[in-house]
Amino acid sequence: MKSKFTLILALIGMFVLTAGMGYAADQDQEQKQKQKSQPQIQAQEQEQKMIYGWELMTVKEREEHQQKMRSLETEQERTAYRQEHHDKMQQRAKERGLTLPDMPPERGAGAGRGQGAGGGQGAGGGRGNN
């Protein structure tokens, strides 16, 4: 009887020890994933701040806006959508008694779609110097 009790206690101890080790390994893996994704999170936050009126939008609205912009195929479509969004954010700010700058941040002023560190300007500046 005593040996069965000792055996049961030993098995329970092994189970607890094994479960604890598995939990610790899961915690380590989770911590590593968080560390890896921190730069991604920072990049996403920076990208969201480039959305005109981002401070008036929910996280879901920002994500939907970014998905919409990525889905548009022509610059003309993107320009029209940006203007629509600009008007919507101006109205929202007005309703809340806030003001937004008249113009959104200059395109290419930050990290964005294919513009790299140079802001997509090239050597000549690219601003209507025709």
List, in sequence order, the alpha helices (H) in 50-125.
59-71, 75-95
Cβ atoms within 10 Å of 89's Cβ, excluding its own: 21
Mean pLDDT value across the chain? 72
Pick from 122, 123, 85: nearest CA to 104? 85
Q: What is the pLDDT of residues 36-48, one digit of tens each?
A: 577 777 776 676 6
28 — pLDDT class (breaks 50, 70, 90): low
76: confidence class by pLDDT, cuts 50, 70, 90: very high
CB 53 within 8 A of CB 105: no
Residue 57 per-residue DSSP state: S
Q: Summarize pLDDT for 92-128 with one digit per residue, the tens.
A: 999 999 888 887 655 554 444 443 333 333 344 444 4
- Residue 79 in contact with residue 93, Cβ under 8 Å? no
Amino acid letter for position 42: Q
